[in-house]
Structure 1
Amino acid sequence: MINGEQELAAPLRWGMVGGGKSSQIGYIHRSAALRDGHFALQAGAFDLDPAAGRAFGTRLGLAPERCYATYAEMFAAEAQRPDGIQAVSVATPNGTHYAICRAALLAGLHVVCEKPLCFTTAQALELQALSEQQRKVLGVTYGYAGHQLIEEARELIAAGALGEIRIVQMQFAHGFHSAAAEADNPATRWRVDPAMAGPSYVLGDVGTHPLYLSEVMLPELKIESLLCTRQSFVASRAPLEDNAFTLMKYHGGAVGTVWSSAVNAGSMHGQKIRVIGSRASLEWWDEQPNQLRLEVQGEPVRILERGMGYLHPAALADDRIGGGHPEGLFEAWSNLYRRFALAMDATDRGDTARLARLRYPDVHAGVQGVRWVEHCVRSADQGGVWVRYDDPQTCRPSDVRPPEGVKKARGGPALS
C-alpha cells in the first residue's frame, strides 16, 4: 500500500512545458507529480504568452525568474543553476512533442510526455535511441494504466485463469465531439488540425489508451497484421478521422479489435477492454475503474473490487486507502508518476535491479503507440487493407488523404 513514506533521498526537481491556466490536462500532471512528494515543481514554460505563463507560474508559487518564455530558454537557464531541474513534463499539443522531448533529453533531463510521443515511427525510434544514449527516462502518460485492477487483470491472465487467449476487444468511444465542438473551443481545435495533431485524430488521441492497457495485460501478445477503416462524420475534420475501426491479428492466432471514436453520441467515456479466453473472460471499464468483471464459463459472474485482500500483491501495491473507498483517475495518474520517479532515481543511481522490478509506460510504449497509429492510417488510406505490422513502410503527415466518404478537406481557423 502507498502511504506517503518518502522513497527517494530527495524530491526530483521538476519543471513543466505547457500545462498553463487554460490547459485541460496541466492540473492532473501537477496533482499526480506532487502528491507523494517525489517531485518538487521548480520551473515552467507554461504558456505561449510569456506574461500569462509567468503570472500563472507565480500563482503556483514559483519564483518569477523561473517562469520562462520558452522551453529552450528554460532548459538553457536551468542547466546553469546548481539547483536546476532534473525532470520535465511535456503537456503541449502533439505537434510539439518531438522537438521538446529531443531538446529535453539533450539537456540531460528525464521526460514525461503526453501521448502521442511524436508523429512518425522514425522520430519515435530516434527519441528511444537518445533516451538510451543519455541514460534518461522518457515516460508517456497512459494514465489509465495506473488503476490497480489493470495489474490484477495482468496477473489473472498470466496465471492462466482465462485459458488460451482468443479475442481482445477494445474501445474508447465517447460522444463529446459528435458535433463540431472545435468551432468554439481552441483546446479541441488543434486536435483536428493535421499540422498540430499529426496524421490522426481519434486513433492517436483515444485509441492508443486501450491499446496500451492490452499491452500491460497481455505482454506476450504481439500484433502480426492489422486492417483499419476511418471516417470523418464531421466533414470539416478531414483529413483527420473522428471514428475508426481497427482489426488485428496476433502472432499465435488471437484476434483483436479497437473502436476509436469521438462521435459515439451519448457516451460519457466509453473506454473498455475485454479479454476472452478459452475458459473465461474479463472486462474493465474506465467509468467503473474500481471493479474488474471476471466471467468463468458455466459459473456466476464475479466482480473483483479494488483494495480487497484477495487481489494479487502486484495490484495491492498501488492501493492507497483499502477496499470500499472509490479511487479514480487522479490516483491512477499518481501511481504512474510514482513509478516515473522511482525509475528516474534508479536510472541515475544505476540501480538495474530496481529498474527491472518497475513497470511503467516508457519510451518503448511510446514507440508502439506511434507505430500502431502509423500502420492504421496507412491501412485506412489504402482503402482498408491488411498491412503487416513489421512492414517498414511509414505514413508521413503529408501523405495523409481524406478518410473514406470525404471528397475534400475544408479549412478551419488557425490555432494561435
Structure 2
Amino acid sequence: MIQGDLKVTAPIRWAMVGGGRGSQIGYSHRCAALRDNSFQLVAGAFDIDPERGREFGESLRVAPERCYPDYQTLFAEEARREDGIQAVSIATPNSTHFAICKAALEAGLHVVCEKPLCFSVDEAEELRALAQERRRIVGVTYGYAGHQLIRQAREMIANGDLGEIRMIHMQFAHGFHSEAVEQANPGTRWRVDPRYAGPSYVLGDLATHPYYIAEMMLPELRIKRLLCSRQSFVASRAPLEDNAYVLMEYEGGAMGHLWTSAVNAGSMHGQKVRVIGSRASVEWWDEHPNQLRYEVQGEPVRILERGMDYLYPQAREDDRIGAGHPEGLFEAWSNLYYRFALAMEAMDRGDTTAVEALGIPDIDAGVEGVRWVENCVRSADAGAVWVDYA
C-alpha cells in the first residue's frame, strides 16, 4: 500500500505563531508539515522578541518581510497579499491559544493548534461555533494518534474481535520532573504556572494524549461520571498537579482508569492504552509504537507488527516504508499533518463528508479535551468525589 505520491493538490501556504529557535514542539510541527509537501512555510511570528523571530524565520528561508513581530500583524498583512497564508499553526504557551486561534478563524484561516485549545469549555465552544460559521478546519496536535496501529486497534474493536468492551486502562506517566527542574528550565517553568498553563499540569499536558487515543479507538464510548484525585508531590507546583488518578464510568457499564504523572521516577515515557473486552485485550505502548499486543483468553500472546498484510486495511493507509523498518513520532505527526491538509482542501470545496472520513483530531476533539480536564479539576477540587460528566 506504499504509494509515495503527493496527497494534496498544491502545498497549503502556511505560517507559524511561536515555535522559534530552541522550541522542540516548533521543530516537530515543521518536520511534520513539510515532509509530504503538504504545506509550504511562507510566513510567521516565531518569537515574542521580534528581532529574534525575524532572524530565526530567515534561517528557515522565510522572506524577511514575512517574518512579523506578532500574530495580529501576521494575520493583517498576509490578508492583503494575493499569495497570503491559508493556514497557521499555533505553538505558543497555553494561555495564548484561545486568543490566537480566535483571531486566526476571524481572519478566515485554517488552524492547527497545540492542546489545550483554551482553559474553559465556554471558550472552547466559542471556538467551535466560530470554526463552523467560517467553515474552517481546526486541527489539534494529539501527535501520537498518527501511529498506525492505533487504527488497527480501532478496527479490531469495531469488528468485535475483543468482544464486549469492559475496561479501558490509560496512562502517561514519565519521571523527568521528579524534581523541581523548572527552576532551571524556562520551557518547563510556564507549564507549572497556572497563569500560563491553565487549571492543570499533567492532566492537560500529558493525560489528554492517551485519553484522545482511547477516544479514537472507541469513538462511541461516552463518560457518564468520573472521579479524579490529583497531587503536587513537588510542593512548589501547587495548586497544579504533577500526578493524578482518574476513574471513569461509561454509559453502558464499562469502566476506565487513567494515571498521569511527571514524577514516575525512572520511567522514560510510560504512555500506554489497554482495552479489555470479554474475550480479548489489546495494548499499545508508545515506546514500542510499531507493535500492538493482542491477547486472546486461553491463547498465546500475539504481537501485531506495523505494515503487515494481516492488519486491517485502515491500519496500512499511512505506510511509508515496508514492515520491519521502524517508524516513530515524526511519522505519526506527518500522518496527522497530511490529513489536516486534505481536510483543509476538502473544507474549501465544501466536502464535509471527505473531512469526516479522514478521522483527524479536530475541533470536537479539542473541545472534548478541555471538557475532560475541566471535569477532572472539578472532581479533584471538591475532594476527589464522583461528579456527573458535564
TM-score interval (norm. to shorter) = over 0.9
> Which residue does the alignment assign to 2:222?
222
Aligned partner letter, 1:360: I
Q: 5 Å matches for 1:7-406?
A: 7-390=7-390
Structure 2 CA distance for aligned equivalents of residues 339 and 169 of structure 1: 28
Are 2:227 and 2:246, in contact at CA under 8 Å, matched by a contact in 1?
A: yes
- Give the Cα–Cα distance (whole angstroms) in 2 for the partners of residues 251 and 133 of structure 1: 31
SS in 1 for 2:199: coil
Q: CA deviation at 1:2?
A: 5.2
- How many angstroms apart in 2 are the aligned matches of 1:4 and 1:67? 32
Query: 2: distance between equivalents of 1:108 and 1:141?
Result: 20
Task: Read off the aligned partner of 1:155 and give its amino acid letter.
Answer: E
Quick one: distance in 2 between partners of 1:142 and 1:192?
Answer: 20
CA contact (8 A) 1:112 1:141 kept: yes
Task: State the distance in 2 between where 1:2 and 1:132 align.
Answer: 34
Is residue 16–residue 88 contact of structure 2 (8 Å, CA) maintained in 1? yes
What secondary structure does 2:9 align onto? Answer: coil
CA shift digits 1:35-58 (9 cap, x unpaired): 001100000100011011000000
Q: CA deviation at 1:3?
A: 3.8
Cα distance change of structure 1 residues 134 and 169 upon mapping to structure 2, 3 Å threshold: same
Deviation of the 1:8 alpha carbon: 2.5
Structure 1 letter corresponding to 2:93: P
Deviation string, structure 1 residues 368-416 (Cα, Å, up to 9, x no partner): 00000000001000000000012xxxxxxxxxxxxxxxxxxxxxxxxxx
TM-score by length of 1: 0.93
Identity rate, percent = 72
**Distance between the aligned counterparts of 1:180 and 1:126, measured in 2?**
36
The residue matched to 1:327 in structure 2 has which SS? coil
Contact 1:243 1:262 in 2 (8 A): yes
Question: 1:401 is matched with which residue?
Answer: none
Gapped runs of 5+ residues in structure 1? 391-416
Q: Distance in 2 between matches of 1:250 and 1:352?
A: 29
The one-letter amino acid of 1:329's match is L
Q: Is the 8 A contact 2:4 2:320 kept in 1?
A: no
- Work out the number of aligned pairs and report it: 390
In 2, the alpha carbon distance for the partners of 1:277 and 1:222 equals: 16
Unaligned runs of 5+ in 2: none
- State the 1:227 CA deviation: 0.2
Q: Is the 8 A contact 2:7 2:338 kept in 1?
A: no
Preserved CA contact (<8 Å) 1:19 1:26: yes
- Say if 1:24 and 1:187, in contact at 8 Å, map to a contact too: no
How big is the alpha-carbon RMSD for the aligned residues of Structure 1 and Structure 2? 0.7
Kindly provide the amino acid, as one letter, of the partner of residue 366 in structure 1: G
Q: 1:355 & 1:383 partners in 2: Cα distance? A: 41
Distance of 2:167 and 2:301 partners within structure 1: 19
Return the offset for 1:352.
Answer: 2.8
Matched letter for residue 315 of structure 2: A
Displacement of 1:356 in angstroms is 3.2
Distance 1:7 1:264 in 2: 41
